[in-house]
Amino acid sequence: MNDHPRDLDLAALRRRLAEFAAARDWQPYHTPKNLAAALSVEASELLQIFQWLTPEQSARVMTDPDTAHRVRDEVADVLAYLLQFCEVLGVDPLAALEAKIERNESRFPVREAGEPEG
């Protein structure tokens, strides 16, 4: 579901994040190790929202405006740190995802109904 009225460009967002960090002289702190740690922390903060929810409650989490806001903020933080991590290491995240999907399609082929595994 697209909550944003305009198409967003991943490259533009990456540039904006880089400019934001550069304007604050944060580049010395944006090492691969630090960014990976920050990414893990933000992913944990996203998980914390769901920690004690039942599967049914977790499926309805976006119906509460306050919780939905927290989820969107944590998703944004995770994505921001992932994009900054990719920028520092020169990883194209969309190319990496496409390659991973292709490998998974080979590793996990679709089985016909009733076909035994393995």
Q: What is the pLDDT of residues 36-68, one digit of tens each?
A: 999 999 999 999 999 999 999 999 999 999 999
**Per-residue pLDDT at 1:** 46
CATH no., domain 12-97: 1.10.287.1080
Inform me whether the pLDDT recorded for 5 exceeds 70: no
Q: Write 37-46 long-range contacts (CB < 8 A, 24+).
A: 38/81, 39/78, 39/81, 39/82, 39/85, 42/74, 42/77, 42/78, 42/81, 43/78, 45/74, 45/77, 46/71, 46/74, 46/75, 46/77, 46/78
User: Which pLDDT band holds residue 8 (cuts at 50, 70, 90)?
Assistant: confident
Q: Which amino acid is at 2?
A: N
User: What are the residue boundaries of the structural domains of the chain, listed by start?
Assistant: 12-97
